[in-house]
């Protein structure tokens, strides 16, 4: 299973040697044994108790390539092994480093969740100032309480050239943004909204889909050629549940990001197999050059022996590459079955939606029978069942006051029996009564309740304005913050009188 993949461009003098030194320090930390650059460049195999290290080099011709493969068993789950592949390449003065982390289970009997972690080597590279200045997420982006910062963020969200996710963070005591950025360095940019900024202002500029409020975190992916980027909104309730279930919050957020970035960076990763292939290519070029410069029979014998040795190495390499392909096939099959599972879930949702449509069509068919009682002109429902509800409210008192068994009574009863009244308005006022009981300021929950009746909240200076979406004729204005304990009750009464 693929856990983490990342690629970095390095900077500074002797960047390649410094990167190799950092890798040696990381291996030393993992193995608790000395590990030198000479050992890394030797192209050998090393065992440190339960940890195995294999090194590969291809440095005869440019580009120069180095690779390290470190394998160790899981400390808690028997039968699970962790593999870390690190590749370094230097070409025309530019050094790049690629790192891949994955787990292999020996069978399906291995139980236990896998936690996504960032390899410690990434921290070594960052602390050594080796990462290029254009590396994504070198530092956290804290926005100012300024509408221009939000507008700039909107431009970045829709910028076609952006190739990394934006992790938009609202104030949450469980998430320390700089630590989250350390986990996501090279993968995503963390952007922090100021706690003093009004949520309504952010939503009015970015839209609800790309906003974050009340401790929520929004992962906004690149456009990838589309018109609107996909996103993943994690509400504060989910984050609280992670904490309650002892799930590492930063690691879980890292997992959500790598779920979208691993595929891209895996294609760019250069593995031990790539380094071995490069070494073989270099050796073939060297053999061709030697053949062109042969002088006598003794040279032919030496060349033949060298070719036989190379053939043996190639056979070993082919076996290793075959094993790698088998592992990749297993990973691909796993991804396929996950996709099949997702497909089944979507099909189930589609069936539910079809059933709902069929139910609604049935209701509409029922309504189409008989003679229409009233004809509407220009007015349309501002929320589902609005006009019908108003008419039923008017007809009910008339029916109650009509003489029993009269024609008027029968007609009104037939209308009431044939038309059901939507409970949207009733339910909304019940929810508002609870939410506005201790009203202090606008909350996401209050927005959600009003939205159920197609009402939106707009921010205007020190006041909030509630109005129906798409209709400017009716509105209610109330203060952003409550002046006294009666504010919530007063707001409820004002909404009833002016909007309904």
For the chain, the structural domain boundaries read 1-135, 424-499
Residue 458 three-state SS: strand
Q: Which two tokens stand for residue 66?
A: 């180095």
CB 193 within 8 A of CB 150: no
Residues 6+ apart with CB under 8 A from 262: 2, 4, 5
Task: Report, as an integer, the average pLDDT of 45-55.
Answer: 91
Residue 293: the pLDDT is 67
Least confident of 154-168, 223-237, 346-360: 346-360
Q: What is the DSSP letter of 114?
A: P
Is pLDDT at 190 greater than 80 in this prediction? yes
pLDDT digits (tens, 9 = 90+) for 324-375: 776 677 666 666 656 666 676 677 677 767 767 776 776 666 554 555 666 6
Task: Report, as an integer, the average pLDDT of 25-39.
Answer: 92
In angstroms, the CA 271 to CA 275 distance is 7
Least confident of 103-112, 153-162, 458-467: 458-467
Give the confidence band of 469 by pLDDT, cuts at 50, 70, 90: confident
Residue 294 three-state SS: coil
In angstroms, the CA 372 to CA 484 distance is 50
Cβ atoms < 10 Å from Cβ of 314? 16
| Model confidence, pTM | 0.60
Is pLDDT at 295 greater than 60 in this prediction? no
Please state which CATH number belongs to domain 1-135.
3.30.530
End-to-end CA distance of the chain: give it in Å, rounded: 56
Cβ atoms < 10 Å from Cβ of 174? 12
Beta strands of 92-128 (E only): which ranges? 94-105
CB 16 within 8 A of CB 88: yes
CB 40 within 8 A of CB 23: yes
Residue 253: the pLDDT is 95
Using alpha carbons, select from 117, 249, 137 the residue that is nearest to residue 192. Answer: 137
Q: What is the DSSP letter of 210?
A: G
């Amino acid at each position: 299973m693929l856990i983490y993949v990342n690629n970095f461009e390095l900077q500074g003098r002797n960047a390649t040697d410094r990167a190799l030194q950092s890798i040696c320090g990381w291996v030393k930390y993992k193995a608790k044994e000395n590990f030198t650059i000479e050992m890394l460049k030797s192209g050998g195999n090393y065992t440190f108790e339960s940890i195995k290290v294999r090194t590969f080099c291809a440095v005869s011709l440019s580009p120069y390539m180095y690779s390290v493969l470190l394998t160790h068993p899981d400390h808690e789950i028997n039968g699970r092994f962790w593999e870390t592949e690190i590749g370094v390449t230097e070409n025309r003065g530019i050094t790049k480093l690629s790192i891949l982390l994955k787990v292999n289970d020996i069978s399906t009997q291995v139980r236990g969740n896998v936690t996504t972690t960032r390899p410690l080597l990434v921290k070594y590279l960052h602390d050594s100032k080796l990462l290029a200045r254009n590396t994504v997420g070198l530092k956290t982006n804290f926005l100012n309480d300024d509408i221009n910062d939000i507008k700039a963020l909107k431009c970045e969200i829709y910028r076609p050239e952006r190739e990394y996710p934006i992790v938009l963070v609202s104030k949450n005591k469980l998430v320390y943004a700089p630590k989250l950025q350390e986990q996501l360095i090279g993968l995503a940019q963390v952007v922090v909204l100021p706690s003093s900024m009004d949520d309504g202002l952010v939503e009015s500029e970015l839209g609800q889909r790309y906003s974050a409020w009340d401790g929520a975190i929004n992962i906004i992916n690149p456009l990838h050629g589309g018109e609107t980027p996909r996103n993943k909104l994690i509400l504060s309730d989910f984050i609280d549940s992670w904490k309650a279930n002892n799930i590492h919050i930063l690691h879980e957020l890292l997992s959500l990001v790598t779920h979208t970035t691993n595929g891209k960076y895996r294609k760019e990763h250069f593995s031990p197999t790539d380094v071995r292939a490069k070494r073989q290519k270099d050796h073939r070029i060297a053999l061709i050059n030697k053949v062109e410069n042969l002088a006598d029979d003794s040279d032919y014998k030496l060349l033949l022996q060298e070719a036989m040795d190379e053939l043996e190495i190639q056979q070993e390499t082919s076996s290793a590459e075959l094993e790698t392909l088998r592992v990749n096939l297993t990973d691909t099959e796993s991804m396929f079955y996950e996709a099949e599972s997702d497909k089944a879930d979507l099909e189930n949702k589609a069936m539910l939606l079809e059933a709902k449509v069929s139910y609604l069509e049935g209701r509409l068919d029922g309504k189409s029978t008989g003679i229409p009682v009233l004809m509407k002109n220009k007015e349309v429902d501002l929320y589902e069942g609005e006009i019908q509800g108003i008419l039923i409210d008017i007809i009910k008192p008339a029916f109650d006051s009509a003489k029993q068994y009269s024609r008027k009574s029968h007609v009104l009863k037939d209308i009431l029996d044939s038309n059901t009244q939507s409970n949207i308005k009733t339910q909304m006022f019940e929810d508002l009564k609870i939410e506005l009981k201790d009203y202090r300021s606008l909350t996401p929950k209050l927005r959600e309740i009003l939205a159920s009746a197609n009402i939106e909240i707009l921010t205007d200076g020190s006041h909030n304005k509630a109005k129906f979406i798409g209709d400017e004729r009716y509105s209610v204005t109330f203060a952003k913050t409550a002046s006294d304990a009666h504010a919530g009750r007063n707001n409820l009464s004002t909404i009833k009188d002016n909007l309904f």
